[in-house]
Amino acid sequence: MAKEKIFEPTVTNDTPFPGEEQEYSNVSQSSANQTYSPATIPEQSIPTKRIAVELLSTAMNTKSRKIHQDFQFTKSGAISVGEYENGVSGEVKISPAGIAAKNKAGVTTFALDGDTGDAVFAGRVQAGTLISGAVAVGDGSIIIDGETKRMIFYADDGTPQIVIGNI
C-alpha cells in the first residue's frame, strides 16, 4: 500500500483593518545623520455609503433620467437649474417673484413676472387658440381689440389714422 500524503494548511499573516495600528518590526534604516523608521498609520474610520434604495427604485430611474411619481415641494427661497457661464451654459431660475431663463449668450429667452403676470418671450410663441383682450403689434402703433371689436392703426404722432370696426 502506498504511503499516505499529509497536507498542512498554508499559514498567512493577519492584515489589520483600516484604523487599527499595525505592529512593525524593529527594522529601521539609518543614514549618515538620521535614523528612519516606518510611521504609524493614524486611525481612520471606514466611510459608510448612503443609498436611498426605496426612492430610487420606485420614484426615480436614474439610468433613464425619468421621474415616475409626484414629488411634493416644500417652501423654499428659489430654485436654480444650471449656472450661466458666458458661451458655455444657460440657466433657469424659479422664485416666488417669477421664472426667468437665460441662454448661453446671456440673453433672457423668457420671463414670467409672478406679481403682474407679464410674460416676455425672445422666440416664437405658438398656440392653437389665443384668447386676449387687446393685442399691441410691434411698437404699439397697431391695436387689435377683441373686446371693442376693432383694429386701430396709429400715426407716429399718436393719432388714430385707420379704424376698422366699431367706432
d(Cα 116, Cα 135) in Å, to the nearest integer? 17
Note the helical H segments in the chain. Answer: 53-58
31 has pLDDT over 60: no
Least Cα distance to 137 among 153, 126, 121, 159 occurs for 153
46-105 per-position pLDDT tens digit: 878 776 655 566 777 777 888 888 877 777 788 889 999 999 999 999 998 999 999 999
- Min mean pLDDT across 13-17, 107-111, 139-143 is at 13-17
| Residue percentage of the chain with pLDDT more than 70 | 81
Report the C-alpha gap between 37 and 87 in whole angstroms: 55
Question: Is-above-0.95 flag for pTM?
Answer: no
pLDDT band at 132; cut points 50, 70, 90: confident
Taking only the tens place, the pLDDT of each residue in 35-44 is 666 667 778 8
Q: How many angstroms separate the first and last alpha carbons of the chain?
A: 127
What mean pLDDT comes out for the span 118-134? 89
Measured from the Cβ of residue 43, the count of other Cβ atoms closer than 10 Å reads 9
